[in-house]
């Protein structure tokens, strides 16, 4: 009897892990592809009324997106980091300091929350708005997703002749990338 119970228990364990691996994998791949579509849609949207923004234009936004990909960890929301790349500077009025561009980007997000961003969760919208609002005025927040957004942007400071300082990065990965890439 004990042998039968052991056998059944081991069969159940192997089935469970088999199915949970498949489910996790499929759900992960599916979610990734949905997220990539959403980010692509936002990229297309911001290009519809695009005017050249010099240092803060589409080339910068694409690099922020690529930087963000390197900063994704299990604790970081990849959708928020990808959307941040294309929205954080979208409401800039000029290529200078324009200190209010972060808050303006956060306000803009509210205007497209039920259309362009209708599939983004309330929590993701909250993180995205906070990242946009704070990205020029706060060094780090302690929130892994918001901090990854900050570093994705800061790792592209080379475009304006500033070498990203590892000590000013908000995440561990950001510090590593900054020191590996820019330390002499
Ligand atoms: Fe930026």
CATH of domain 16-181: 1.10.3210.10
Alpha-carbon distance 72 to 79, whole Å?
10
Give per-residue pLDDT as tens, 87-112: 999 999 888 889 999 999 999 999 99
Is 15 in a helix, a strand, or coil?
Answer: helix
pLDDT value at residue 3: 54
pLDDT value at residue 184: 53
* Beta strands per DSSP E along 99-179: none
Q: What are the structure tokens assigned to 181, written together? A: 């890439």
Q: Tell me the percentage of the chain whose pLDDT exceeds 90.
A: 70
pLDDT value at residue 23: 42
The region of weakest confidence among 24-38, 40-54, 161-175 is 24-38
**Spatial CA neighbour of 42 closest among 91, 112, 104:** 112
State the distance from the centre of ligand 1 to the C-alpha of 119, rounded, in angstroms.
24
State the distance from the centre of ligand 1 to the C-alpha of 89, rounded, in angstroms.
5
State the distance from the centre of ligand 1 to the C-alpha of 140, rounded, in angstroms.
16
CA distances to 3, 10, 24, 82 from 15, rounded to whole Å, are: 18, 9, 14, 36
The region of weakest confidence among 1-5, 73-77, 168-172, 175-179 is 1-5
What global pTM score does this model have?
0.83
Give per-residue pLDDT as tens, 8-20: 444 344 443 333 3
Q: What are the structure tokens assigned to 160, written together? A: 């304006």
State the distance from the centre of ligand 1 to the C-alpha of 72, rounded, in angstroms.
18
State the distance from the centre of ligand 1 to the C-alpha of 81, rounded, in angstroms.
12
Q: What are the structure tokens assigned to 64, written together? A: 């922020």
State the distance from the centre of ligand 1 to the C-alpha of 159, rounded, in angstroms.
10
């Amino acid at each position: 009897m004990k042998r039968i119970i052991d056998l059944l228990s081991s069969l159940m364990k192997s089935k469970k892990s088999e199915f949970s691996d498949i489910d996790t994998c499929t759900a992960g791949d599916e979610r990734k592809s949905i997220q990539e579509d959403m980010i692509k849609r936002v990229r297309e949207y911001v290009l519809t009324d695009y005017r050249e923004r010099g240092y803060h234009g589409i080339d910068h936004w694409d690099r922020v997106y690529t930087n963000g990909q390197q900063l994704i960890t299990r604790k970081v929301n990849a959708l928020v980091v990808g959307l941040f790349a294309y929205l954080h500077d979208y409401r800039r009025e000029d290529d200078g300091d324009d200190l209010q561009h972060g808050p303006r980007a956060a306000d803009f997000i509210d205007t497209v929350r039920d259309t362009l961003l209708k599939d983004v969760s309330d929590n993701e919208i909250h993180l995205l708005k906070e990242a946009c609002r704070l990205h020029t005025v706060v060094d780090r927040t302690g929130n892994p997703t918001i901090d990854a957004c900050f570093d994705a942007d800061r790792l592209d400071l080379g475009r304006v002749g500033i070498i990203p300082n590892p000590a000013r990065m908000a995440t561990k990965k950001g510090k590593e990338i900054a020191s590996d890439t820019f330390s002499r």
